[in-house]
Structure 1
Amino acid sequence: MSDAIKHECGLALIRLRKDFSYYLQQHGTVMYGLNKLYLLMEKQHNRGQDGAGIAAVKLNTTNGSPFLHRVRSNAQQPIADLFFKLGVEINELEKYQPDIKKHPELMKGHVPLVGELLLGHLRYGTQGKNDVEFCHPFIKRDFTPGKNLALAGNFNLVNKDELFDLININPGPFQKQSDLAAMMEVIHHFLALEEDKNPAKACIANALRKAAVLFDGGFTVGGLTGNGASFVLRDAHGIRPAYYYIDDEVVVAASERAAIRTSFNVGENEVHELMPGKALIIDADGNYVMEQVLEPKERKACSFERIYFSRGSDEKIYRERIALGYHLSKGVLDAVNYDLKNTIFSYIPNTAEVAYFGLCKGMEDYLNQTKVERILSWGNDVTEEKLQSIINRKIRQEKIAIKDVKLRTFITEDSSRDEMVQHVYDITYGTVRKNEDTLVVIDDSIVRGTTLKESIVRMLARLQPKKIIVVSSAPQIRYPDCYGIDMSKLGDFIAFRAAIELLKESGNECIIEDVHQKILELERCNKLTEENMVRHIYKPFTTQEISDKIARLITPKDITVPVQVIYQTIEDLHESCPTNTGDWYFTGNYPTPGGNRVVNKAFLNYIAKKNVRGY
């Protein structure tokens, strides 16, 4: 993705179902659980690089011994930092007890993170500051073991202020900035009530039922309790992803299927999706149940998971990204007038590569069909020279763009940064015939268009192609997200800016003020959740008109090479990714009432020139 957006988070939960001596005998190490947690986190590092954290709960500790531990890091490589420090800690112990790794109880007693319950988290900050205090897991401590709670998740809530009010908590400055803090207080409130009812075996399912119905947002959340229970809960629409694997040794949950498959070397059918509204609950004895905590609603799993966020090593995601590219081939063929001899195909590195393969497959299918038709038209007039000529026709593919990520690391001065951003990408010279070849490049999506304008289009224009066509495997991003992706400001979206410009150019600027007044009226009546009024900004224009305006906006004024933008259609998106139908950032169809409130508040912020989130 050319415009980097912070997004998502990664979750990893492991419940060891055997004692540590078993793992020492069967796998040669007491560290089996932590080793697997490291793999799960590392295989999901794409989901969060602002920070990481681990919580561990030890079972059957002696009275007075610590049983809940947590470590967090916001270092430049937080996963490596956490496990490096763990290694240093163990190395220090080995100085005094060289064979400590062969003694499970000593390891459990002396190494804080050696616990039967493990919860790992990778953070991309969408709320709060990027300091270590905002890294998950959060913990809530209590003298009663069952009221101790560690919580981490992949989510945003749009009603955190209301949640504090519901349980009569006046949040402090830190809590006000964190939706996890609000979720923690609510879950802990109901968990404590259940613990008071039955200290021997509090009903986690009941606590989650009472808490989760209050949350407005998309979420996958994992928790550990001090008495040895654990859980993973998914929202009713299945917006945020969750998968699990269970065998005699472990219960595992994570945000991505491929991470579990790789870490535990298991087949696709052995890893299951946690369905919307369900909770996987593991008790203190390691037994598990599936509970329908929330009534499942229309499935709205995030389509950006398939377009970009999740790693493409998952075979289904890989095929879907191929399909996204393939569906764009017809529009691209029309745009190049079916002239493949004078067209070069490439991609914006590196995450658009799989969609690029799909686009090229579509081109190859078209080319093969034309070969067959041409050969059949010859009848008996076939020569070896003619066959050689047509069979050797290929799609022209080149690696045009090269990303030099290191350029960003040392730039701090604004004036220098503006100059250097043009050189984040480099080009392969000599690949394009000047003023003859059309250059087609595909990207995952176009969010802000800033990098396209300041770096990519300017860079491609240096090759002096006849035309540049930028292809997006995602539809136009028109509306904010409030369920875990850092896309919350309308003014950031190039599609929105294009629509605003078109309204002004067409003499319909009054629509902007009309929408503004309607939203203000909804706000006065406390009805911001009832309707997405920002849709009216786009209504006067076709998708093509907005795409054409975007093309003009991403073309630097001093560039004379024509630029065209082609977007994925909503219909082809859903055909390519049939199980992930969440599309509110494209269509404005929010799955929860809070979404409408967020988009309307985002418009008010835009009009007031407030550079703040809509939630």
Structure 2
Amino acid sequence: MENNIHEDCGVALVRLLKPLSYYQEKYGTWRYGLGKLYLMMEKQHNRGQEGAGIASVKLNTQPGNEYMFRERAEGPNAITEIFGSANRQINQVVKENSVFVDSNLQEVPFAGELYMGHLRYSTTGKSGLKYVHPFLRRNNWRAKNLCLCGNYNMTNVEEVFEELTRQGQCPRIYSDSYIMLELMGHRLDREVERNFREAKKQGLEDQNITRYIDEHVKMENVLKTTMKHFDGGYVVTGITGSGEMFAMRDPHGIRPAFYYKNDEVVVLASERPVLQTTFDIEYDDVQELKPGTALIVRSNGETVIKKILEPQSNAACSFERIYFSRGSDQDIYRERKKLGEQLVPAVLKSIGGDTRHTVFSFIPNTAESAFYGLLDGFKKHVIERKIERIESLGHTPTHEELLDILSEYVRCEKVAWKDIKLRTFITEGNARNDLAAHVYDITYGSLEPYVDNLVIIDDSIVRGTTLKESILHILDRLHPKKIVMVSSAPQIRYPDYYGIDMPRLEEFCVFRATVALLKERGMESILENVYKECLAELSKPREEMQNAVRDIYAPFSVDEINHKIVEMLRPEGMTTPIDIVYQSLDGLHQAIPNNPGDWYFSGHYPTPGGTRLCNQAYVNFFEKVYKTASTQSIDHNNAK
């Protein structure tokens, strides 16, 4: 994806169901759980490269011994750093070649039965170690200790914050993660106190009360009283000091989660193939966590699935399938190929049916699967055309006729190459822009200049910056007869508020092109009308709001907007004809039928919070661009 849109985030859970001595005897190491956590996180590195963290809980410790451990780090090498630190801590306590006994591990860090990992991509602009998951809430009561992480973005943080402060709480940091930690921690406290009262009714005293609490905490009670307050897309995971583990998915199923259980482990990850590869299991062994439900592993290892919130309309994120998730998933690979194949008619129209003089390629690397689908579609088309030509001859073809017909094939080349990340920070201004223009390189001689069309597919076209500053300019060096840029995703028109960093309308080339068309055609009044409509919607109760921003696009066809995008993104001095072909919404849903969440394309948000934030985004845009311009004009006139 051009400009590398980021997503928040990836999660991994491991719950060992046997004593550590079992894994030592069977697998040759008691660090089995820690090793599996490392593999699961590395295989999800694509989901977060800004930071990573792990946490572990040790069961059945004696008072005076640590039982909850955490490591966090920032940067693209965070996984290596945190596991290196964990192993150094372990090696400081465990002597090499020492005889293994379970009791030997009482004081060993990260020698636990519960493991949780997180990979972070920021979607809020907030950085620093304090924003890296997992988040930890400490207490002297073991059951009140809570460690939390997740793949989520909440759209109503301010409302939950106000609720907490109304109750008298004083959260230290204003972010969805810390606010969720405090609210869930508060509800966990109440659950512990409920069990305390029950234990007292039964006549229990002292440590017997503690044991009763540890054995009877029900995380489903905590989740039901916590998550009902939040609007957003999420998979929230956590572990407690008493050994409870959980993962909950939002009621629309926006963010993904998959789990697997046998008699040795219970594990969960953000992607199915991560579990398949790490545990050498089959596709059908892995289960998808259903919307509104939670996977809960109790302190005794009992595993249950509990409905926490009523499931709502399915809005599983289609961008997960187009771009974020690993293409090694068999369903995702098939879906991405289908996205490419469905574009054949539109591409065929763009090149005037001239497949003999067309070279197909893709933008590395996530568009590769869609590229194979596009090739398959054109291969079928060429075969059908060969059959038609032979059948239309009306006689037995000569050798020369057969050679002419059968020699036609679909030509594909590795045209574009993505270089290593250039260190543009060493320069400024124009020099920096010049370096950025060389992010991609080309295979010289891969097509016949001024004769061959070049069709090149990407998984999406979002901001258009890389197209303008790098891709189109570098492709033009091959001197194609025509360049056809193909997006396997539809036009991205609206921001995302459920974990993908697409928060501002003005960042999208489709939105900018539409605004430019309104200005060109004397329709600027629509911009102000939509502004007023957005303000009106924002004054309504959240559940009644409609997305007024959709009216911006109503006057224009997709083709009209496409032509304007080409005009805006064409590099200065470039004369090669350019066309842009986008996937259609219908094509998207045909290729990805089980992930219908399409709000970034359609503007139909699955939750009220998303709709509200989209209306607010337009208000912010309009006031920044038009009210600022108006104020500057008044100031200028006053100065005169």
Q: The TM-score by the shorter chain falls in which range?
A: over 0.9
Task: Give the TM-score taking structure 1 as reference length.
Answer: 0.96
Whether the 8 Å contact between 2:171 and 2:179 is mirrored in structure 1 is no
Q: State the Cα RMSD in Å.
A: 1.7
SS of residue matched to 1:167 = helix
Measured in 1, the distance between the counterparts of 2:145 and 2:596 equals 37
Cα deviation code 1:244-299 (max 9, x no counterpart):
00000000011000001010000000000000001011100111111011100111
Q: Against the structure 1 CA distance between its residues 413 and 255, is the aligned structure 2 distance closer, same or farther, given a 3 Å change threshold?
A: same
Q: CA deviation at 1:116?
A: 0.5
Q: Against the structure 1 CA distance between its residues 558 and 181, is the aligned structure 2 distance closer, same or farther, given a 3 Å change threshold?
A: same
Q: CA deviation at 1:408?
A: 3.7
Q: Which has the larger radius of gyration?
A: 2
Aligned twin of 2:78 = 78
Aligned twin of 1:284 = 299
Which of 442, 449, 453 is the matching residue for 1:434? 449
Measured in 1, the distance between the counterparts of 2:142 and 2:559 equals 60
SS of residue matched to 2:356 = helix
Q: Against the structure 1 CA distance between its residues 597 and 88, is the aligned structure 2 distance closer, same or farther, given a 3 Å change threshold?
A: same
Aligned twin of 1:263 = 278
Whether the 8 Å contact between 2:49 and 2:75 is mirrored in structure 1 is no
Measured in 2, the distance between the counterparts of 1:117 and 1:100 equals 24
Once the two structures are overlaid, the 10-residue window that deviates more, 119-128 or 585-594, is: 119-128
Q: 1:496 is matched by which residue type in structure 2? A: F
Which of 465, 468, 472 is the matching residue for 2:487? 472
Whether the 8 Å contact between 1:343 and 1:396 is mirrored in structure 2 is yes
Aligned twin of 1:499 = 514
Summarize the alignment of residues 307-326 of structure 1 with structure 2, pairs less than 5 Å apart.
307-326=322-341
Q: Against the structure 1 CA distance between its residues 566 and 172, is the aligned structure 2 distance closer, same or farther, given a 3 Å change threshold?
A: farther
Whether the 8 Å contact between 2:71 and 2:86 is mirrored in structure 1 is no
Aligned twin of 1:105 = 103
Q: 2:428 is matched by which residue type in structure 1? A: E
Q: Against the structure 1 CA distance between its residues 114 and 606, is the aligned structure 2 distance closer, same or farther, given a 3 Å change threshold?
A: same
Measured in 2, the distance between the counterparts of 1:191 and 1:101 equals 39
Q: CA deviation at 1:409?
A: 5.9
Q: CA deviation at 1:523?
A: 3.7
Summarize the alignment of residues 137-286 of structure 1 with structure 2, pairs less than 5 Å apart.
137-168=134-165, 175-176=173-174, 178-199=175-196, 200=213, 201-286=216-301
Measured in 2, the distance between the counterparts of 1:185 and 1:396 equals 58
Asked if 1:484 is matched to 2:499, the reply is: yes
Q: Against the structure 1 CA distance between its residues 527 and 24, is the aligned structure 2 distance closer, same or farther, given a 3 Å change threshold?
A: closer
Once the two structures are overlaid, the 10-residue window that deviates more, 144-153 or 599-608, is: 599-608
Asked if 1:129 is matched to 2:126, the reply is: yes
Q: 1:87 is matched by which residue type in structure 2? A: N
Measured in 2, the distance between the counterparts of 1:102 and 1:374 equals 76
Q: Against the structure 1 CA distance between its residues 186 and 401, is the aligned structure 2 distance closer, same or farther, given a 3 Å change threshold?
A: same
Whether the 8 Å contact between 2:292 and 2:307 is mirrored in structure 1 is yes
Aligned twin of 2:547 = 532
Cα deviation code 1:44-86 (max 9, x no counterpart):
0000000000011110000121111111000331111111222
Measured in 2, the distance between the counterparts of 1:554 and 1:512 equals 22
Whether the 8 Å contact between 1:408 and 1:424 is mirrored in structure 2 is no
SS of residue matched to 1:346 = strand
Whether the 8 Å contact between 1:119 and 1:223 is mirrored in structure 2 is yes
Quick one: percent identity of the two aligned structures? 48
**Unaligned segments of structure 1, at least 5 residues:** 611-615
**Unaligned segments of structure 2, at least 5 residues:** 197-212, 626-640
Q: Against the structure 1 CA distance between its residues 170 and 3, is the aligned structure 2 distance closer, same or farther, given a 3 Å change threshold?
A: farther
Whether the 8 Å contact between 2:424 and 2:435 is mirrored in structure 1 is no
Whether the 8 Å contact between 1:519 and 1:528 is mirrored in structure 2 is no
Q: CA deviation at 1:548?
A: 1.5
Q: 1:287 is matched by which residue type in structure 2? A: E
Aligned twin of 1:613 = none
Whether the 8 Å contact between 2:249 and 2:292 is mirrored in structure 1 is yes
Q: CA deviation at 1:214?
A: 1.1
Aligned twin of 1:337 = 352
Measured in 1, the distance between the counterparts of 2:88 and 2:179 equals 35
Once the two structures are overlaid, the 10-residue window that deviates more, 374-383 or 59-68, is: 374-383
Measured in 2, the distance between the counterparts of 1:19 and 1:26 equals 11
Measured in 1, the distance between the counterparts of 2:290 and 2:541 equals 33
Whether the 8 Å contact between 2:171 and 2:182 is mirrored in structure 1 is no
Task: Give the TM-score taking structure 2 as reference length.
Answer: 0.92
Q: 2:178 is matched by which residue type in structure 1? A: A
Aligned length: 606
Q: CA deviation at 1:172?
A: 6.9
Aligned twin of 2:432 = 417
Aligned twin of 2:35 = 35
Q: Against the structure 1 CA distance between its residues 52 and 409, is the aligned structure 2 distance closer, same or farther, given a 3 Å change threshold?
A: farther
Measured in 1, the distance between the counterparts of 2:440 and 2:543 equals 42
